[in-house]
């Protein structure tokens, strides 16, 4: 008898076990039983003559019928080799005709003579009016000459396993449907099915990992029944209940893992940082050139309380581009600095890290000038650390960080390196979270003194669909800034179909001239850098216009006479800085660029954005790009240019972006458009992430219910072994939410 934890080799044999391990990393009974069918084949029953076969190419199908035609022919001769033959058999009298072809068929031919009742199972191919199965698995059910058990290995082994007293039990094959497993050419679906049957035949009853109360309350099938039925159910209703049960296991396991994570961090001591009265926070609030919005104040109150408490904060701050997250983060950091700790702000790009450092130093003024003439008494320092700084600059920054002189440390991935040591790290802020994984924020948090976990604030301008917030980010509390600071101007967005309405494109360039004439600036964005850039090209060879080419073209043509700047990710970083500085200073009228400008860049004087070949970008990315304009006092215009037609699918997406400025609405649309693998990140296979039956797109209700259940249950039974077992699928996984790039 076997249990879930047992290794497979003793049950299915060394050879099969090795194949399962090598192909799928399946080692234990549990691994195998959780290798759920990817779908179920219909069409097992004998179909009536004349019945239309609406099966599609590539679909897996199984027939049981009698052979009506048998043709053995010579294969193309190979010099020096024995003549091989191939066999074509026709099944029944069905129309359209079903045939099966077998190669090197000398051995098989006598088994499949006219009048043999046979089961054939394979993938559908259509050729003219004929359905062809190419080298399908077969099993002889009744042979005119009474041969014994004949058939291909996979099916024979299933039949043999069910063999009783000499005759085999054909009832194992009399089913409405069969499971079709994720398989490979070396390890086919039938092989896996045979192993699953062997395992289930000896499996002891499986204990239920979920508390009995929830199983009863939700009317779920038991774990034991579900693990069997998902593979062997005889009817669709039973099968669907099994899937429902196992899907709930996933939802609950994922939420439990998040509870564990949350509580393990909360259980540690956080650097308690009560709000002081005459420190940097007060200093900055006096200096700010604007009033905080109501939303900013509310969010800050919540954050401020959490920072003062004994536990580390774990919070995500989401808000539209331009909603003023940065000043919220800065005030939060200052509260922590006032209490004697350091803060680290992790930014996804150098441009953004530099911009943060510059704008924070600027807004802090004397408050950031500790040790300098004119520095305030309570002043601290803002240190910047990025990969492209010189060795000497880096050393100087690291010294300020290690000595504690820098209260605020801003940087890119460079901050994660071991050589970077903090004196008293008390808070980590991660900007534009979707670029970073959980492991990176943990890496930075680990730089705090032994025994304390720094507060964490994650900022994202990409509104996150609710299901993603509950799963990928389920270990964080969320705050949202919905209101934009006063004085903001609306952004109008239009789609330009350049091939169908070339005049509109001319008009777009004219608009840029007009805006520049009245002192404004513009962006022209495209998806590709140059001929060598892999981004902005697809397999079919379709390419987005390159920024280098477009820059040359506009400079000599439609935008001649304006001051153009070129910006992309492959420029040396001092050049990038120079271009950004010139644009910010108004010395460049039009920045022709790639998405390096996507995140967080703040030039309020820019009022027009032309996104060239906009169809290359995803919904959220376009929304994000658009947030670069409309940041000042002037109304702004975003033009999405595409050479695709108005009826295309991409056009629908562009029109959706044009139709609303609501980032949450667009985020949900975006999620619908993408494969979930993209949302969940690097590990594209469901296996690696642990989600097999649960979909973030379709199962929002289940996710929410499982979350509610786990929140309650965790209070009462935090050590529940069954829940821990479900959660174990998800611990240690890399969960990353990435932009479509
Ligand atoms: P986000 O990071 O959320 O995209 P920022 O924090 O960069 O937005 O804010 C965008 C701009 O709005 C900045 O120039 C910032 O100084 C300004 N700003 C922030 N809060 C306010 C406010 N309450 N009133 C006016 N302007 C504000
Ligand atoms: Mg920002």
DSSP string across 326-359: HHHHHHHHHHHHHTT-EEEEE-SSHHHHHHHHHH
- What is the distance in A from the centroid of ligand 1 to the CA of 98? 68
Going from the first residue of the chain to its last (741 residues), give the mean pLDDT of each consecutive group of 10, the final group possibly shorter.
92 92 90 89 49 63 85 88 90 82 90 90 80 87 83 78 59 72 78 91 95 94 97 91 96 90 78 91 94 94 95 89 89 97 93 91 95 90 95 96 97 92 95 70 86 90 74 80 74 93 94 96 93 74 88 96 93 88 94 76 90 90 87 91 88 91 79 56 40 81 92 92 89 40 25
pLDDT at position 530 is 82
- What is the distance in A from the centroid of ligand 2 to the CA of 419? 27
Give the span between the Cα atoms of 344 and 400, in whole angstroms: 13
Position in ligand 1 atom list of the atom nearest CA 363: 16
**Tokens matching residue 505:** 């494109």
With a CB cutoff of 8 Å and minimum separation 6, the contacts of 565 are 579, 582, 583, 588, 590, 591, 592, 593
487 touches 537 (CB < 8 A): no
- Only one residue has tokens 């291909």, namely 152
- What is the distance in A from the centroid of ligand 1 to the CA of 587? 23
Backbone φ, ψ for residue 39 (5° rounding): -165, -175
Q: Could you tell me the CA-to-CA distances from 338 to 278, 326, 331, 683, 717 in Å, in that order? A: 9, 18, 10, 41, 39
Q: Could you tell me the CA-to-CA distances from 43 to 40, 51, 63, 178, 214 in Å, in that order? A: 10, 12, 7, 9, 37
**Tokens matching residue 545:** 């216009």
Give the span between the Cα atoms of 294 and 302, in whole angstroms: 13
Q: Could you tell me the CA-to-CA distances from 430 to 237, 353, 456 in Å, in that order? A: 47, 11, 8
- What is the distance in A from the centroid of ligand 2 to the CA of 188? 50
Strand residues in 160-250 grouped as ranges (E): 163-164, 167-168, 178-180
- Please report which ligand is nearest the Cα atom of 323: 1
- Only one residue has tokens 């019928």, namely 65
Position in ligand 1 atom list of the atom nearest CA 292: 23
Position in ligand 1 atom list of the atom nearest CA 296: 23
Torsion of CA 694, 697, 702, 707, to 10 degrees: 90
**Which residues form ligand 1's pocket by a CB distance below 6 Å?**
290-293, 296, 319, 321-327, 461, 485, 600, 602
**Tokens matching residue 431:** 């900007």
Measuring CA to CA, which residue among 611, 598, 591, 604 is closest to residue 525?
611
- What is the distance in A from the centroid of ligand 1 to the CA of 187? 57
Residue-wise pLDDT for 690-728, tens only, equals 678 888 777 888 999 999 999 999 999 999 999 999 988
Does domain 42-180 fall under CATH 1.10.150.450? My reply is no
Ligand 1 mutation pick, 327, 429, 605, max ligand atoms within 8 A of CB: 327
Measuring CA to CA, which residue among 547, 555, 552 is closest to residue 512?
555
Give the span between the Cα atoms of 131 and 373, in whole angstroms: 86
Other C-beta atoms lying within 10 Å of the C-beta of residue 649: 9
- What is the distance in A from the centroid of ligand 1 to the CA of 424? 29
Give the span between the Cα atoms of 462 and 58, in whole angstroms: 39
pLDDT at position 554 is 96
**What pTM value is reported for the model?**
0.65
pLDDT at position 621 is 84
594 touches 620 (CB < 8 A): no
- Residue identifier of the C-alpha nearest atom 9 of ligand 1: 324
625 touches 598 (CB < 8 A): yes
Measuring CA to CA, which residue among 615, 682, 685, 678 is closest to residue 645?
615
- What is the distance in A from the centroid of ligand 1 to the CA of 631? 8
Position in ligand 1 atom list of the atom nearest CA 325: 3
- Please report which ligand is nearest the Cα atom of 330: 1
> b/e map of 446-479 (b: 16 or more CB within 10 Å)?
ebbeeebbbbbbbbbbbbbbbbbbbbbbbbbeeb
pLDDT at position 690 is 62
- Residue 242: beta bridge partners? none
pLDDT at position 168 is 60
Element (H, E) at 40: strand 39-41
Ligand 1 mutation pick, 294, 318, 326, 487, max ligand atoms within 8 A of CB: 326
pLDDT at position 169 is 64
Give the span between the Cα atoms of 402 and 421, in whole angstroms: 5
Position in ligand 1 atom list of the atom nearest CA 604: 14
Give the span between the Cα atoms of 224 and 571, in whole angstroms: 59
pLDDT at position 488 is 63
pLDDT at position 117 is 87
- Please report which ligand is nearest the Cα atom of 322: 1
- Residue identifier of the C-alpha nearest atom 19 of ligand 1: 324
| Beta strand pairing call for 85-91 and 60-74 | antiparallel
- What is the distance in A from the centroid of ligand 1 to the CA of 733? 35
Position in ligand 1 atom list of the atom nearest CA 293: 23
Q: Is the dihedral of CA 468, 473, 476, 478 positive or negative?
A: negative
- Residue identifier of the C-alpha nearest atom 17 of ligand 1: 324
- What is the distance in A from the centroid of ligand 2 to the CA of 602? 8
pLDDT at position 270 is 86
Q: How far apart are the first and last CA of the chain?
A: 50
Give the span between the Cα atoms of 64 and 174, in whole angstroms: 9
CB-count exposure of residue 402 (10 Å: 0-12, 13-18, 19+): middle
Domain range summary for the chain, segments of one domain joined by +: 42-180, 280-481, 491-660
pLDDT at position 166 is 53
With a CB cutoff of 8 Å and minimum separation 6, the contacts of 205 are 224
Position in ligand 1 atom list of the atom nearest CA 600: 4
Give the span between the Cα atoms of 494 and 651, in whole angstroms: 11
- What is the distance in A from the centroid of ligand 1 to the CA of 390? 31
- Please report which ligand is nearest the Cα atom of 292: 1
pLDDT at position 736 is 35
513 touches 522 (CB < 8 A): no
Q: Do domains 42-180 and 280-481 have the same CATH topology?
A: no
**Tokens matching residue 651:** 């056009």
Measuring CA to CA, which residue among 492, 501, 505 is closest to residue 545?
505
**Tokens matching residue 637:** 């215009």
CATH code for 280-481? Answer: 3.40.50.300
Give the span between the Cα atoms of 388 and 350, in whole angstroms: 8
- Please report which ligand is nearest the Cα atom of 628: 1
- What is the distance in A from the centroid of ligand 1 to the CA of 322? 5
- Please report which ligand is nearest the Cα atom of 433: 2
- What is the distance in A from the centroid of ligand 2 to the CA of 321? 7
- What is the distance in A from the centroid of ligand 1 to the CA of 126? 61
Ligand 1 mutation pick, 284, 318, 319, 322, max ligand atoms within 8 A of CB: 322
Position in ligand 1 atom list of the atom nearest CA 326: 6
Give the span between the Cα atoms of 457 and 335, in whole angstroms: 13
Measuring CA to CA, which residue among 62, 65, 66 is closest to residue 42?
62
- Please report which ligand is nearest the Cα atom of 320: 1
Q: For residue 423, what is the DSSP state?
A: S
Q: For residue 693, what is the DSSP state?
A: S
- Residue identifier of the C-alpha nearest atom 13 of ligand 1: 324
- Please report which ligand is nearest the Cα atom of 363: 1
- Residue identifier of the C-alpha nearest atom 5 of ligand 1: 324
- Residue identifier of the C-alpha nearest atom 27 of ligand 1: 485
| Beta strand pairing call for 521-525 and 606-611 | parallel
Give the span between the Cα atoms of 248 and 255, in whole angstroms: 11
Q: What angle do CA 401, 403, 406 make, to 5 degrees?
A: 45
Measuring CA to CA, which residue among 633, 579, 641, 647 is closest to residue 610?
641
460 touches 469 (CB < 8 A): no
Give the span between the Cα atoms of 571 and 95, in whole angstroms: 65
- Residue identifier of the C-alpha nearest atom 24 of ligand 1: 485
Torsion of CA 283, 288, 290, 292, to 10 degrees: -50
pLDDT at position 675 is 54
Give the span between the Cα atoms of 195 and 211, in whole angstroms: 30
pLDDT at position 240 is 94
Q: Which CATH architecture has domain 491-660?
A: 3-Layer(aba) Sandwich (3.40)
- What is the distance in A from the centroid of ligand 1 to the CA of 321? 9
> b/e map of 124-154 (b: 16 or more CB within 10 Å)?
beeeeeebbbebbbbbbbebeeeeebbbbeb
Ligand 1 mutation pick, 485, 491, 600, 606, max ligand atoms within 8 A of CB: 485
- Only one residue has tokens 């009698």, namely 66
- What is the distance in A from the centroid of ligand 1 to the CA of 54? 58
């Amino acid at each position: 008898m076997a249990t879930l934890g047992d290794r497979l080799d003793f049950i299915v044999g060394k050879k099969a076990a090795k194949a399962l391990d090598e192909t799928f990393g399946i080692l234990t009974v549990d691994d195998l039983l959780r290798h759920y069918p990817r779908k179920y084949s219909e069409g097992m029953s004998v179909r009536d003559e004349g019945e239309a076969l609406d099966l599609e190419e590539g679909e897996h199908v199984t027939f049981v019928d009698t052979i009506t035609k048998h043709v053995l022919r010579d294969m193309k001769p190979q010099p020096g080799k024995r003549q091989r033959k191939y066999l074509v058999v026709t099944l029944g009298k069905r129309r359209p005709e079903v045939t099966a072809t077998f190669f090197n068929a000398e051995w098989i031919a006598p088994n499949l003579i006219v009048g043999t009742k046979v089961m054939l199972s394979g993938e559908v191919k259509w050729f003219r009016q004929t359905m062809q199965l190419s080298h399908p698995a077969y099993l002889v059910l009744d042979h005119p000459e009474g041969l014994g058990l004949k058939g291909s290995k996979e099916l024979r082994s299933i039949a043999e396993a069910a063999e009783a007293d000499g005759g085999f039990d054909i009832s194992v094959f009399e089913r409405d449907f069969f499971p079709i497993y994720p398989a490979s050419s070396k390890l086919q679906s039938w092989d896996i099915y045979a192993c699953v049957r062997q395992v289930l035949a000896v499996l002891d009853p499986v204990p239920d990992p979920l508390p009995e109360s929830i199983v009863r309350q939700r009317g779920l099938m038991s774990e034991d029944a579900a693990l069997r039925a998902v593979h062997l159910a005889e009817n669709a209703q039973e099968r669907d209940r099994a899937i429902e049960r196992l899907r709930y296991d996933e939802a609950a396991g994922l939420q439990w893992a998040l509870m564990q994570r949350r509580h393990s961090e909360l259980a540690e001591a956080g650097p308690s940082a009560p709000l002081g009265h005459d420190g940097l926070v007060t200093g900055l609030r006096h200096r700010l050139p604007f009033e905080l919005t109501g939303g900013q104040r509310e969010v800050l109150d919540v954050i401020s309380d959490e920072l003062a408490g004994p536990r580390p904060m774990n919070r995500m701050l989401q808000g539209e581009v331009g909603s003023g997250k940065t000043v919220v983060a800065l005030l939060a950091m200052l509260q922590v600095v006032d209490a004697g700790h350091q803060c680290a702000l992790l930014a996804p790009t150098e441009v953004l890290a530099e911009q943060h450092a510059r704008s924070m130093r600027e807004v802090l003024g004397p408050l950031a000038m500790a040790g300098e003439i004119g520095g305030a008494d309570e002043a601290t320092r803002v240190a910047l650390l990025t990969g492209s700084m010189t060795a000497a600059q880096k050393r100087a920054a690291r010294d300020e960080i290690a000595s504690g002189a820098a209260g605020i440390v801003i940087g890119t991935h460079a901050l994660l390196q071991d050589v970077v040591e903090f004196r008293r790290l008390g808070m980590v802020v991660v900007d534009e979270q979707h670029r970073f994984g959980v492991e990176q924020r943990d890496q930075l948090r680990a730089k705090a003194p032994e025994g304390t976990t720094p507060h964490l604030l994650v900022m994202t301008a990409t509104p996150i669909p609710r299901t993603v917030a509950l799963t990928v980010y389920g270990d964080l509390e969320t705050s949202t800034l919905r209101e934009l600071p006063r004085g903001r101007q609306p952004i109008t967005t239009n789609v330009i179909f350049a091939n169908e309405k070339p005049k509109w494109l001319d008009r777009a360039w004219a608009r840029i001239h007009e805006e520049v004439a009245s002192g404004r600036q513009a962006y022209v964005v495209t998806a590709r850098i140059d001929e060598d850039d892999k981004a902005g090209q697809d397999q079919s060879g379709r390419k987005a216009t390159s920024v280098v080419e477009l820059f040359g073209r506009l400079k000599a043509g439609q935008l001649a006479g304006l001051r153009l700047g070129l910006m992309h990710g492959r420029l040396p970083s001092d050049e990038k800085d120079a271009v950004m500085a010139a644009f910010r200073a108004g010395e460049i009228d039009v920045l022709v660029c790639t998405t390096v400008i996507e995140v967080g860049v703040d030039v309020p004087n820019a009022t027009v954005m032309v996104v060239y070949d906009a169809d290359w970008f995803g919904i959220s990315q376009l929304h994000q790009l658009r947030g670069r304009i409309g940041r000042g006092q002037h109304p702004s215009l975003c033009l999405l240019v595409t050479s695709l037609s108005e009826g295309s699918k991409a056009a629908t997406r562009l029109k959706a972006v044009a139709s609303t400025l609501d980032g949450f609405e667009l985020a949900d649309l975006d999620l619908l458009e993408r494969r979930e693998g993209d949302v969940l990140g690097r590990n594209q296979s469901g296996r690696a992430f642990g989600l097999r039956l649960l979909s973030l797109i379709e199962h929002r209700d289940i996710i929410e219910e499982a979350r509610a259940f786990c929140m309650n249950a965790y209070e009462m039974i935090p050590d529940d072994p069954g829940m821990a077992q479900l959660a174990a699928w998800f611990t240690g996984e890399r969960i990353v939410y990435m932009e479509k790039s």
